[in-house]
């Protein structure tokens, strides 16, 4: 029987080639997206599987109770907890603290910003991060690097024994290079630094007030139940906090989280790590199911559209003695056959999208492609085939042979506002909503890359200084012909905005407000064409003492209630209750951060030790010559390091244009639209074929080609219009849900909604028009010959 079902399925597949291609391609497209989601889900459960003793390793979480009795879970703990557990509880084998560090690192004449953690020596006993060479960083002022970081700093040279410099941590000696990771971990880093002994001593009770400095991991001794640790944690909290008086919270408690339960994340944690979250995985799988649902719609739609010919087949088989369950098995077998063929094509499509950067970074990077994932793919494909075929199977197998063979009416449910029409509307609605959302994202990225920030970006070259002396570099650049100004700064405008600091209007009052801080020299304001509203520019200085004079923006004047810009000049502000600064001038507001946040208070001061970038403004027409001269100067000052200068326009474009994300989303939407249009093509083809005699009669009676085209296509055009009417408001809401995260964003108007709707109509009309035009040109004698 199974062989019979397979033979019939293959025969029908070959007989109706167009419908078979549409169904197989549609199901393959949907399966491709689902397979990516399934691979990512499997990869989420593969996180941290390379660590030894993961069954007795735990991370300590902190549940913080607010004054309103709201509980917020933190992935971090107070820093003394690790030492207390290790020193006072015998069932604890090892503990490790993992503390995030910030700032640039300088090594081998390169200054790089990398992801770094300071860790206890126990880190290398608890976790299974192997070393490719050297020793772990267990001694003070030592560091181990990942292979990628070692290559960035030192190229192909051996990094062991080399030095890295950090502003706060000082000089660090590289003792080892980690082996390349195959499986992902919830801990993502570029280097691991030994936590200093001074920070490991038992701190004062005040250290227990800070519950977010770092993560604490515990390795229990073999045979120790986790209940022992769970019972010890409340006692530790009670002793440590009995003399503390919290101002912003009521208190906190600790709980354990097994290492093998960290990924995928079951809850949103404050100061969390980098494991995938259940909600995100479900959303990805939902996208895959929606795409597969579109393909299933096609299968149902086309199968039901061919109901007339299949109805006769059902009638004959029932007259011959077939029962309903046998017919259902036949149709379900055909559906599974289509699905397995689609799986083969989906695997090919999966191999084509695997190299995409977005796919590698966010979806399948680090996934173990073992037999379990292939079994999952096959089972999922079979289930998808069964679900896609169940509706046609139940409907077609229910035909009564007497009615079908007598009247040949086919499937009555396809008349009027039928199932097939609803499926077509659903397909195009989903595709159009996705297109509007993607176009909104692209327009917002383009707006952030090309919009008006309020500062000069044309003919501006930025140069990271690395370890080249800033003053020497600026002196050399000032001598070049075509250079207008040479400015220095600690940050690049349009990126992160600088460091956030608490600033007080009055030292003795509780009136602190956060302000962004950037260090610039006296050339920066004129070089970037910033407008000075009141006061004067920063003075010329080569020492940090000039940092006592600052220039602020209009927003800072408002936040600190300094009156008008003119009145603000000469007034004082306090940094960290200890440093008094005087306002030298006020600049007009400009967007110095990304468009995610509105304009905030900004303070510009001259602290030469913090300068990291040189910004060169160049005269019109001299860009090429000056760039060549600057590269020559750089080669002379830093002969072993490549020149990494960048035009400001290019910097903003690279910062805000995420082409890998949009490429992948474009691929998904392209698949969705291709499924929808191929389904529409199949329906139009079947409709024109089933009405070929009607077309012949109308032509004989004198109907024109354009009238016949309209007769055959008007129902489908109406469906496109209905889909557009439903999708436009939904697409607007989808686009707005993305834009609401930006303080400054584009609008969703006719340029977005109209363009997407026009694409829908044009492509849909071409799909419908080409098929109906061919049918309208057919010779009526060919279609009426048998009559």
Question: Span 763-774, mean pLDDT?
Answer: 83
Confidence of residue 201 (pLDDT cuts 50, 70, 90): very low
- Helix, strand, or coil (residue 618): strand
Residue 192 has pLDDT above 60, yes or no: yes
**For residue 197, what pLDDT is reported?**
56
d(CA 459, CA 485): 11
Span 530-583, pLDDT tens digits: 999 999 999 887 666 556 899 999 999 999 999 999 999 999 998 876 788 999
Instruction: Please give the helix or strand (H or E) that residue 67 lies within, else none.
Output: none
CA angle 552, 558, 560 (to 5 degrees): 75
d(CA 253, CA 730): 44
Return left, alpha or beta for 159; rule: phi > 0 is left, psi -120 to 50 is alpha, else beta: alpha
Residues in the chain: 787
- How far is C-alpha 13 from the geometric centre of its chain's CA atoms? 40
What are the respective helix, strand and coil percentages of the chain, to the nearest 5? 50, 20, 30
* CA distances (Å), origin 430, targets 34, 290, 303, 655, 720: 17, 8, 21, 31, 12
- Average confidence score pLDDT of the chain: 84
What is the model's pTM? 0.75
Residue 410 has pLDDT above 50, yes or no: no
Among the listed residues 584, 606, 605, the one whose alpha carbon sits nearest the alpha carbon of residue 535: 584
Range list of H helices, 62-112: 81-88
**For residue 310, what pLDDT is reported?**
67
Which three-class secondary structure string do you get for 459-520?
Answer: CEEEEECCCCCHHHHHHHHHCCCCEEEEEEECCCCCECCCEEEEEECCCCCCCEEEEEEEEE
Question: Span 68-76, mean pLDDT?
Answer: 90
Residue 770 has pLDDT above 60, yes or no: yes
d(CA 664, CA 356): 8
Going across the sheet that includes 613-618, the strands are 483-489, 613-618, 460-464, 646-647
**For residue 456, what pLDDT is reported?**
93
* CA distances (Å), origin 273, targets 23, 187, 263, 681: 42, 6, 10, 48
Span 471-529, pLDDT tens digits: 899 999 999 999 999 999 988 998 877 788 888 888 777 778 889 999 999 999 999 99
d(CA 61, CA 82): 12
Question: Span 391-403, mean pLDDT?
Answer: 72
Span 646-689, pLDDT tens digits: 999 999 988 887 777 777 777 777 777 777 777 777 778 777 76
**For residue 655, what pLDDT is reported?**
85
d(CA 96, CA 261): 18
Residue 589 has pLDDT above 70, yes or no: yes
Span 211-248, pLDDT tens digits: 888 999 999 999 899 999 999 999 999 988 887 878 77
d(CA 781, CA 731): 48
Percent of the chain at pLDDT exceeding 90: 36
- Helix, strand, or coil (residue 453): coil
Confidence of residue 257 (pLDDT cuts 50, 70, 90): very high
Among the listed ranges 91-100, 192-201, 237-246, 739-748, which one has the minimum average pLDDT value? 192-201
């Amino acid at each position: 029987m199974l062989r019979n079902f397979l033979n019939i399925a293959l025969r029908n597949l070959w007989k109706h080639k167009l419908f078979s291609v549409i169904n197989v391609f549609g199901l393959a497209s949907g399966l491709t997206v689902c397979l990516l989601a399934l691979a990512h889900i499997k990869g989420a459960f593969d996180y941290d599987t390379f660590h030894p003793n993961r069954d007795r390793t735990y991370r300590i979480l902190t549940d913080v109770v607010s004054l309103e009795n709201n509980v917020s879970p933190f992935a971090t703990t107070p820093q003394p907890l690790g030492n207390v557990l290790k020193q006072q509880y015998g069932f604890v084998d090892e503990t490790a603290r993992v503390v995030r560090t910030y700032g640039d690192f300088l090594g081998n004449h390169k200054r790089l910003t990398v992801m770094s953690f300071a860790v206890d020596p126990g880190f290398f006993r608890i976790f299974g991060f192997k070393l490719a060479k050297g020793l772990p960083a267990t001694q003070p002022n030592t560091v181990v690097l990942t292979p990628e970081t070692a290559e960035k700093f030192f190229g192909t040279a051996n990094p062991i024994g080399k030095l890295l410099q950090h502003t706060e941590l000082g000089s660090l000696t590289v003792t080892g290079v980690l082996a390349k990771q195959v499986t992902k971990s919830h801990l993502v880093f570029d280097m691991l630094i030994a936590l200093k002994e001074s920070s490991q001593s038992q701190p004062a009770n005040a250290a227990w007030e800070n519950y977010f400095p770092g993560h604490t991991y515990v390795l229990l001794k073999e045979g120790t139940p986790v209940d022992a640790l769970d019972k010890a944690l409340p006692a530790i909290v009670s002793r440590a906090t009995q003399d503390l008086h919290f101002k912003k919270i009521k208190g906190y408690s600790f709980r354990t989280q097994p290492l093998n339960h960290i990924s995928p994340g079951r809850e949103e944690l404050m100061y969390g790590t980098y494991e995938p979250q259940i909600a995100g995985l479900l959303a990805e799988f939902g996208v895959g199911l929606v795409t597969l649902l579109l393909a299933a719609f096609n299968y149902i739609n086309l199968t039901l559209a061919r109901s007339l010919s299949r109805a006769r087949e059902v009638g004959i088989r029932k007259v011959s003695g077939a029962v309903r369950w046998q017919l259902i098995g036949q149709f379900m077998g055909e559906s599974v056959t289509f699905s397995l063929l689609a799986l083969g094509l989906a695997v090919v499509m999966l191999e084509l999208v695997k190299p995409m950067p977005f796919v590698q970074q966010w979806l399948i990077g680090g996934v173990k492609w073992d037999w379990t994932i292939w079994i999952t793919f096959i089972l999922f494909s079979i289930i998808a085939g069964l679900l896609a075929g169940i509706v046609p199977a139940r409907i077609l197998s229910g035909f009564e042979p007497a009615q079908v063979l007598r009247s040949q009416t086919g499937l009555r449910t396809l008349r009027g506002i039928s199932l097939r029409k609803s499926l077509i509307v659903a397909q195009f609605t989903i595709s159009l909503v996705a297109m509007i959302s993607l176009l909104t994202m692209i327009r917002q990225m383009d707006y952030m890359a090309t919009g008006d920030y309020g500062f000069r970006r044309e003919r501006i070259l930025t140069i990271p200084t690395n370890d080249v002396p800033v003053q020497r570099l600026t002196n050399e650049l000032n001598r070049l012909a075509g250079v207008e100004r040479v400015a220095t700064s600690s940050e690049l405008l349009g990126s992160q905005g600088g460091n956030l600091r608490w600033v007080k209007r009055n030292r003795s009052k509780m009136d602190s407000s956060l302000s962004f801080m950037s260090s610039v020299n006296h050339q920066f304001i004129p070089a970037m064409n910033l407008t000075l509203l009141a006061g004067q520019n920063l003075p010329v200085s080569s020492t940090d003492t000039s940092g006592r004079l600052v220039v602020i923006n209009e927003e800072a004047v408002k936040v600190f209630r300094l009156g008008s810009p003119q009145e603000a000049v000469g007034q004082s502000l306090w940094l960290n209750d200890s440093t008094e600064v005087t306002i030298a001038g006020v600049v007009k507001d400009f967007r110095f951060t990304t468009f995610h946040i509105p304009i905030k208070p900004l303070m510009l001061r001259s602290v030469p030790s913090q300068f990291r970038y040189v910004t060169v403004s160049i005269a019109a027409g001299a860009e090429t010559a000056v760039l060549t001269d600057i590269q020559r100067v750089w080669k002379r000052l830093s002969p072993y390091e490549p020149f990494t200068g960048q035009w400001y326009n290019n910097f903003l474009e690279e910062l805000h244009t995420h082409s890998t994300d949009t490429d992948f989303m474009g691929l998904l939407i392209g698949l969705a639209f291709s499924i929808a249009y191929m389904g529409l093509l199949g329906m139009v083809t079947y409709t024109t074929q089933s009405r070929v005699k009607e077309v012949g009669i109308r032509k004989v009676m004198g109907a024109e080609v354009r009238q016949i085209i309209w007769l055959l296509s008007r129902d489908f055009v109406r469906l496109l219009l209905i889909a557009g009417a439903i999708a436009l408001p939904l697409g607007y809401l989808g686009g707005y849900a993305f834009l609401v995260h930006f303080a400054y964003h584009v609008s969703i108007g006719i340029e977005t909604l109209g363009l997407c709707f026009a694409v829908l109509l044009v492509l849909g009309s071409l799909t419908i028009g080409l098929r109906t035009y061919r049918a309208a040109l057919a010779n009526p004698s060919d279609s009426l010959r048998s009559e």
